[in-house]
Chain A
């Protein structure tokens, strides 16, 4: 604990932890709906499209995350429309999104003379290099995503439960799905600084599938997912600093350790559900 208090005195570490906690919360919230919609890899595909957007930013000299925002949002809406109009399966649409983003990125990088250090930080993430502007951007994203999801929470829950029933209930499912995809896109772009393009889907998927094993109730599952994500991210950052490891990899491996621990505990019939339920209630 003393070690923790020592390192949070550093400005870079304060920025890293504030950003990481905000990212953990929004990725868990958006991720639960993506996982339940069976769109777990949608986050991964969006991140690869963002890679194309980042390359475009580096190529044109515009701040890469802004171009990533624009490219990811437009691509996500486009692919959603493509899926609705052609009835192609969700996994195929994800494949189209993922490969097209990567292809654009690779072409732009080759034109602009190959990989740079800056591009590597977007690919693999480095939260310890996060700037004040990045922190502001991440906090603004969280301030948009959390209230909007709060307002549409029940409607999104009904859509993931049964889209047809949602339509009969009078919900404008197409509009809500589009809004959600935009929220997912901005969440993923904001999170690229933490774990990078290549590991972003771990933040979306792992805390949620872990929480789904033990959570009873939608709200409780969401809460457990946020807690797992925050603890893993904070632990991962602190550990990576002391042991001198890559923060993104350490964060993801910490999440996987928690995931495996829960599986083992469940198989050993350790009463983890009851313990968590008593803490949450």
Chain B
């Protein structure tokens, strides 16, 4: 079966500093892939490449079998939930209006919007301004916006950072429901290893380079591997901050 995501030898430099170095991994239909890595590991850069926000990368990214540089329509099959950003209290759009933005370019069906709001359990807040909601509720609105376009792949970039633990639990329940009940393929980045262990069936550990990609149980069930990952991440950061004798190749 063809993978939904196929990233091959992906390398990206921010002004001569390597952000991603030769990353290769795949995501199959129905997978729940947790991408873990410390701050600055390149998780957001990886997603920005996969979503076509950054184009000047080396390597190849195929989504649904098509090279994303050739076929821009593939992005319409993706729902994206970015890192939490605070919405100003006075931002005038209501929850319903924000969710409807997920249907730009498609025929707007009120029922689909209501279903998405109901799915994230915010039916009582449809007419509220998004800025009046708690941060956890705001992230659920963004999930509803991502779902309303009926995506086949959901990409979430550290969606629960800065959200209180109760809201996080509710959020994780929602992701499990999407993956198990709706069979949605999910790629989710986090530095919360406990949650990734609990939710994801596959895991990818990155810190600019790919350290591990495979079944979640093969990573979290192997103490030696986890220990060497921590060492790898620490070494990577020491190299970044204090220099390394073994430098990565500079871009052509």
Contact = CB atoms under 8 A, between A and B. Distances in A.
B76 interface: yes
Nearest to A218: B93
Interface residues of B, number: 28
Interface string A16-51: 000000000000000010001000000000000000
Given A170-B76, A216-B129, A217-B97, A162 B82 contact: yes
B135 to A, nearest CB: 15
A89 to B, nearest CB: 18
Contacts of A171: 104
A164 interface: yes
B91 to A, nearest CB: 7
B63 to A, nearest CB: 12
Given A154-B104, A218-B92, A162 B75 contact: no
A218 B128 CA distance: 11
B127 A216 contact: yes
Interface string B74-116: 0110101010010100111110011011101100000000000
A161 B82 contact: no
B225 interface: no
Contacts of A169: 75, 101-102, 104-105
Contacts of A216: 92, 94, 127-129
Nearest to B48: A164
B90 A213 contact: yes
Contacts of A170: 72-73, 75-76, 105
Contacts of A162: 82, 85
B53 interface: yes
A161 B90 contact: no
A158 B148 CA distance: 15
Contact of A154 (B51, B73, B101): B101
Contact of A217 (B75, B90, B93, B101): B93
A164 B129 contact: no
B52 interface: yes
Interface string A47-60: 00000000000000
Contact of B104 (A155, A167, A212): A155
A219 B92 CA distance: 9
Nearest to A159: B101
Contacts of A168: 51-53, 75, 78, 80
Among B78, B82, B92, B104, which residue has the most Cβ atoms of chain A within 10 A?
B92
Interface of B: 51-53, 72-73, 75-76, 78, 80, 82, 85, 87, 90-94, 97-98, 100-102, 104-105, 127-129, 145
Interface of A: 32, 36, 154-155, 157-158, 161-162, 164-165, 167-171, 211-213, 215-221
18 contacts: A32-B92, A157-B93, A157-B101, A158-B101, A161-B93, A161-B101, A162-B82, A167-B51, A168-B53, A169-B101, A170-B105, A212-B90, A213-B90, A216-B127, A217-B127, A217-B129, A218-B94, A219-B97
